[in-house]
C-alpha cells in the first residue's frame, strides 16, 4: 500500500496539466440560488480533485419542483478561484429526483470495468413527499459532463431524521484493496435509532450484505455522517457525529473518531472524541476530515464541524492533541475540506450555508495555507 506522503508526491506530478498557481482567497461565490429556490436553497457541498488537477463540486439543490431536483456539477480550472456549471446528475431510474447528500469520488485505478479517471457520484434519491430514501450510484467518464446510473445501494423509509423512522443517509465512498466501500447512516434497525453501516462492491453493480460499523446500546443514540481519510502511516481515520454521546448534556452531536488499518473494520476500533486543548471546545455535528503531510513528522489532521473553527491534530490522532484554529470560511452544515494535491500546504473549504430555516444560503469557497494557519515557517 502506498503511504499518503508518497501518494501526494505522485499525484502532484500529474495535476500540473490543469491546475494554476495556488493562491489563498476567502469566500469566493460559486452559486447564488435564484429567489424561487425553496428553503434552505442549497446545502451539503462536496468536491473532488481530478487527476488532471481540475476541481468538481456539487451540493443539494433546492430548486422549485417540477422538474425533479438534481445535483449540479460545477468545475474550476484555476484551483478554486472561479467555477462554472458543466453538468447535471438527474435521477434516471426512480422518478423521484436526486435530492440529498451527494458525494463525489474519482477512480484512481481501473475498477469494475470503468477506467482511471471515472468520476462516481453517490447520492440520496428521494421523492418530493420524502416518503422513501434510496442511495444510488452514478458514473461519468467525461469529467462530469454526462452521467449514467450504475446501481442501487441501500433503500430506506421516509426522509425524516427522527427515531422510529427508517431512512438511509449520507453516503461516503472509499476504495481499499479490491473493494469499493460505501458508508452511510442507517436507521433501519429496530434496536437502534440510528447506526452507521457500510456495504462493498467489486463491480459497482452488486453489493455485499450490510456491515455495521458504529452502534450503541441506547436506542436514542444516533451516530451518523461518516467521513474517512487515510493518514500518513497508512491507517484510516473515521469521523462521525454521535447524537446522545455522554460527554455533553443536554443531547447534542459531538464529533468522535476511530482509527483502523483496515477501513472495513472500524467496528473493532475504540472511540475517541475531539476536545480542543485551547478552550475545551467540542466540535458539534457534520464532520469532515482530511490529512496533509505538512506540519511535521505526523503531518496534520484537519477536522471541520458546523462552526467556523478548524480542529487540528499534528500527533497522528492523539486524543489529547487537538487545537482549534479560526478559519476564513463561515460556519456551515457539513463544510467540505480538500487538501490540494499539487501542494498539500493548501486547504480548500467549501460551504453552502446552514440547516433550514434559511433564506440566505449560497455556495462559497475559501483557500488557506496550513503553514500560515499553524504559524509554521515554510521549508
pLDDT score of 377: 76
Q: How confident is the model over 75-88, as pLDDT tens digits?
A: 999 999 999 999 99
Cell numbers for 77? 480550472
- Which of 11-15, 140-144, 208-212 shows the lowest mean pLDDT across its residues? 11-15
- In the prediction, which pLDDT does 20 show? 73
Average pLDDT of the chain to the nearest whole number: 96
- Over range 25-37, report the average pLDDT: 98
d(CA 175, CA 152): 18
Residue whose entry in the numeric block shows the C-alpha cell 466540535: 283
What grid cell was written down for 323? 487545537
- Tell me what pLDDT residue 173 has: 99
Residues 306-323, mean pLDDT to the nearest whole number: 98
CATH code of the region 37-285 = 2.120.10.10
Q: How far apart are CA 191 and CA 195, in angstroms?
A: 10
220 bridge partner residues: none
Q: What is the mean pLDDT of residues 259-286?
A: 98
Residue 330, pLDDT > 50, answer: yes
For 73, 192, 367, the CA distances from 215, given in Å and listed in that order, are 34, 7, 35
- Band of residue 42 on the pLDDT scale cut at 50, 70, 90: very high
Per-residue confidence at 164, pLDDT binned at 50, 70, 90?
very high
60 bridge partner residues: 43
Q: Domain coordinates of the chain in residue numbers? A: 37-285
Give the containing element (helix H, strand E) for 90: none
Q: What is the mean pLDDT of residues 281-287?
A: 97
- Read off the pLDDT of each residue in 56-71 and give the average, rounded to a whole number: 98
pLDDT-based confidence at 106, cuts 50/70/90? Answer: very high
pLDDT band at 1 (very low <50, low <70, confident <90, very high): very low
Collapsing DSSP states into helix, strand and coil, what is residue 374?
A: helix
- Decide: pTM greater than 0.85: yes
pLDDT number for residue 205: 98
Give the model's confidence band at 379: pLDDT under 50 very low, under 70 low, under 90 confident, else very high: low
Three-state DSSP string of 216-265: CCCCCCEEEEEEEEECCCCCEEEEEEEECCCCCCCCCCEEEEEEECCCCC
User: HSE (CB half, 13 Å, CA atoms) of 292?
Assistant: 25
Cell 427522527 -> residue: 162
Say if residue 351's pLDDT is above 80: yes
Q: Identify the pLDDT of residue 4.
A: 59
Amino acid at each position: 500500500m502506498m503511504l499518503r506522503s508518497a501518494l501526494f508526491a505522485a499525484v502532484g506530478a500529474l495535476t500540473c496539466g490543469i491546475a494554476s498557481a495556488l493562491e489563498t482567497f476567502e469566500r469566493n461565490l460559486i452559486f447564488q440560488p435564484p429567489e424561487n429556490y425553496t428553503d434552505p436553497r442549497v446545502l451539503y457541498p462536496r468536491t473532488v480533485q481530478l487527476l488532471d488537477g481540475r476541481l468538481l463540486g456539487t451540493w443539494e439543490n433546492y430548486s422549485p419542483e417540477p422538474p425533479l431536483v438534481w445535483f449540479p456539477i460545477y468545475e474550476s480550472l484555476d484551483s478554486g478561484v472561479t467555477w462554472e456549471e458543466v453538468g447535471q446528475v438527474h435521477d434516471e431510474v426512480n422518478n423521484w429526483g436526486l435530492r440529498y447528500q451527494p458525494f463525489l469520488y474519482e477512480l484512481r485505478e481501473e475498477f469494475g470495468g470503468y477506467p482511471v479517471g471515472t468520476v462516481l457520484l453517490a447520492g440520496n434519491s428521494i421523492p418530493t413527499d420524502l416518503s422513501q430514501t434510496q442511495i444510488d450510484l452514478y458514473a461519468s467518464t467525461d469529467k462530469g459532463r454526462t452521467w449514467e446510473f450504475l446501481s442501487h445501494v441501500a433503500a430506506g423509509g421516509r426522509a425524516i431524521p427522527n427515531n422510529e423512522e427508517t431512512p438511509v443517509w449520507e453516503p461516503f465512498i472509499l476504495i481499499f484493496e479490491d473493494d469499493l466501500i460505501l458508508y452511510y447512516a442507517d436507521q433501519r434497525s429496530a434496536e437502534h435509532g440510528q447506526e452507521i453501516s457500510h456495504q462493498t462492491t467489486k463491480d459497482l453493480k452488486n453489493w455485499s450484505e450490510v456491515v455495521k460499523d458504529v452502534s450503541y446500546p441506547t436506542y436514542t443514540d444516533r451516530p451518523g455522517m461518516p467521513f474517512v481519510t487515510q493518514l500518513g502511516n497508512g491507517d484510516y481515520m473515521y469521523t462521525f457525529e454521535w447524537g446522545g454521546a455522554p460527554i455533553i448534556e443536554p443531547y447534542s452531536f459531538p464529533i468522535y473518531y476511530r482509527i483502523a488499518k483496515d477501513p472495513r473494520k472500524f467496528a473493532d476500533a475504540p472511540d475517541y472524541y475531539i476536545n480542543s486543548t485551547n478552550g475545551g471546545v467540542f466540535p458539534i455535528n457534520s464532520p469532515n476530515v482530511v490529512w496533509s503531510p505538512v506540519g511535521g513528522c505526523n503531518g496534520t489532521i484537519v477536522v471541520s464541524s458546523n462552526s467556523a473553527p478548524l480542529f487540528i491534530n499534528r500527533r497522528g490522532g492523539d486524543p489529547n492533541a487537538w487545537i482549534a484554529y479560526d478559519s476564513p470560511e463561515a460556519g456551515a452544515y457539513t463544510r467540505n475540506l480538500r487538501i490540494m494535491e499539487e501542494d498539500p500546504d493548501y486547504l480548500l473549504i467549501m460551504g453552502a450555508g446552514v440547516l433550514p430555516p434559511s433564506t440566505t444560503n449560497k455556495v462559497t469557497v475559501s483557500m488557506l495555507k496550513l503553514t500560515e494557519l499553524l504559524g509554521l515557517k515554510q521549508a
